[in-house]
Structure 1
Amino acid sequence: MTTILITGAAGSIGTMLRSRLAREGRVLRLLDVAPLPGGPGPGEESVTASVTDMAAMTAACKGADAIIHLGGIPSEAAWAPVLDVNINGTYTVFEAARRAGVPRVVFASSNHAVGFAPRESFPVPDAAYPAPDTYYGVSKAAGEAVAALYASRYGLNAVCVRILSCFERPLNARMLSTWLSPDDAGRLFEACLTAPAPGFRVIYGVSDNTRGGWVSLDGARALGYEPRDDAEHYATDVLAAAGDPAGPDPADPVFRYLGGDFTLPSRDAPIPPAADS
């Protein structure tokens, strides 16, 4: 892989991946509407553009060997912006890849595409049908469908990574089960970029957590991913901060479904005002 286009490169995961995907002879082409933290470094190119701009995306794709599509609204929002940026933007990325002849797209999906998978179904299989918990989750399920179309109709290699909780460290008790460490994120995306002819895949992105087992890692491992990190290293501090050193209550609604608090009524998206009659 000599040139990799990363959309949403100024975001938290994009920033994590920059140093972890850097290789001798590899160029990271970093695209975002926001400035890149620290600006582009050695082996990096900066592109200011929106994933919804077909002309700009097609131009950015030229000469790329693969795309990592991270760009989009990263949490729940009203339907109109989710539709525009996350759903239409993902279509634009795949169509631009097809027009420019990019053979592989790695799409950052989310566990929220199957957020209403109940605890009784754990570990949620790689091929679990969509059960989105929010408009955001719907957009990720739609992106997976777009990826499947472009893989089947146009022969793109399309790997959809249902990322769980990717932060520098786990922030709460739930993340002791769902954490994807930055280093494991780098290992996972590198595997997605380099696995021979993956075709269409839907896999999960999570570290090898002692309290894990919420989702399958079979699909990710089949691509060559071997997680090395474990949220348990942070468990004492996380549980003490939560005021519950004995551990979380399994009856807590946050632990009822894979999507955690995204499944709660408090996460209902804003309702747009009624149109004037």
Structure 2
Amino acid sequence: MPARRTVLLTGAAGGLGTLMRGLLPAYGYELRLLDMLPVAGEPDAITADLGDRAALREAVRGVDAIIHLAGISLEASFGKILAANIEGTYNLYETAREEGVGRIVFASSNHAVGFTPRPRGEAPFGPGELIPVDTPRRPDTFYGLSKCFGEDLAQLYWDKHGLETVSVRIGSCFEEPTSVRMLSVWMSPADGARLFHAALSAEGVGHTVVNGSSANTRLWWDLTSARALGYEPQDDSEPYAAKLIAEQGELDPDNPDHDHLGGHFTTNPPIWPY
């Protein structure tokens, strides 16, 4: 399958969308941008809500693939999550089906499995074991629950309509990690672009779920299914470790925020400001 050239990037004004706007064109993609907010410096970007099916139809028409980053990225009331992340993702998939789009890369999250214990060399993950991609889903928030829905929606649209998806359970994609926990789930922006490119260009993905992070020394989860797409992470959070540990201390096994993959989302999640 040739590399896809025209890609709709939803959530293009957000933090991850902004990073990918700068990195993905180097892989040969022409990006069509969509966000509910204006995209700074991008006068041709489409400003529309995922609830606007007519605008969404126009945005999707003629693209080869979609990277779906739009939606609420923190915890919020169930009603807000329902509208933005659940109904909005359904609208995108149904519009993609109607327009004959062949593939979506869906931004899932570690928070779909956030209550999974971090590996500590004991049950359920023994010495040297990493959290597998098929670990049971254990969402830590309504936000995480919406990502479980998105993964199931992707499976339905593959089984029923032949619409392929790679669901990327993103750890934390920032310029650099900001916490000791993040040392284990951090994905550098460059590795994020590598993973999205692999997800867009690999053949025969059906519906594939992958864990999304760099090749961190302190890695908690298995990247096998991501590597099977052709993803070769190049970065590691370890150069940031000494500074973060000096500032924050090592992870405390008696702190529930430190003992689960989802971190503080399991106890005190940051709330969406709108």
Consecutive unaligned residues of structure 2, counting only runs of 5 or more, are: none
Quick one: structure 1 residues 255 and 151, their matched pair in 2 at CA, closer, same or farther if it must change by over 3 Å? same
**1:34 maps to what in 2?**
37
Q: Given the alignment of the two structures, is residue 227 of structure 1 paired with residue 233 of structure 2, yes or no?
A: yes
Q: Given the alignment of the two structures, is residue 2 of structure 1 paired with residue 5 of structure 2, yes or no?
A: yes
Amino acid at match of 1:104: R
Q: Given the alignment of the two structures, is residue 17 of structure 1 paired with residue 20 of structure 2, yes or no?
A: yes
| Aligned partners of 2:74 and 2:270 also within 8 Å | no
- Cα shift readout 1:88-146 (whole Å, capped 9, x = no counterpart): 00101111100111100000000101111123445221122321010000000001111
Distance of 1:219 and 1:253 partners within structure 2: 28
SS of the equivalent of 1:6 reads strand
**2:149 maps to what in 1?**
142
Distance of 1:142 and 1:25 partners within structure 2: 31
**1:251 maps to what in 2?**
254
**1:273 maps to what in 2?**
none
Q: Given the alignment of the two structures, is residue 130 of structure 1 paired with residue 141 of structure 2, yes or no?
A: no
**1:210 maps to what in 2?**
217
How many residues were matched structurally?
261
Identity %: 51
| Aligned partners of 1:5 and 1:60 also within 8 Å | yes
SS of the equivalent of 2:176 reads coil
Distance of 1:39 and 1:144 partners within structure 2: 30
Amino acid at match of 2:115: F
Task: Map 1:99-118 onto structure 2 (within 5 A).
Answer: 99-118=98-117
Distance of 2:60 and 2:105 partners within structure 1: 14
| Aligned partners of 1:165 and 1:180 also within 8 Å | yes
| Aligned partners of 1:113 and 1:133 also within 8 Å | yes
| Aligned partners of 2:109 and 2:170 also within 8 Å | yes
SS of the equivalent of 1:97 reads helix
**Per-residue deviation at 1:24?**
7.4
Distance of 1:109 and 1:184 partners within structure 2: 16
**Per-residue deviation at 1:268?**
9.3
**Per-residue deviation at 1:52?**
2.0
Q: Given the alignment of the two structures, is residue 90 of structure 1 paired with residue 89 of structure 2, yes or no?
A: yes
Amino acid at match of 1:176: L
Aligned-residue CA RMSD (Å):
1.7
| Aligned partners of 2:8 and 2:60 also within 8 Å | yes
TM-score (norm 2): 0.91
Distance of 2:42 and 2:271 partners within structure 1: 34
**2:269 maps to what in 1?**
267
**1:162 maps to what in 2?**
169
Amino acid at match of 1:232: E
**Per-residue deviation at 1:23?**
3.8
SS of the equivalent of 2:244 reads helix
Match 1:181 to one of 172, 177, 188: 188
**Per-residue deviation at 1:197?**
2.0
Residues 221-230 or 113-122, more deviating: 113-122
Consecutive unaligned residues of structure 1, counting only runs of 5 or more, are: 271-277
Distance of 2:253 and 2:77 partners within structure 1: 31
Residues 249-258 or 156-165, more deviating: 249-258
**2:59 maps to what in 1?**
60
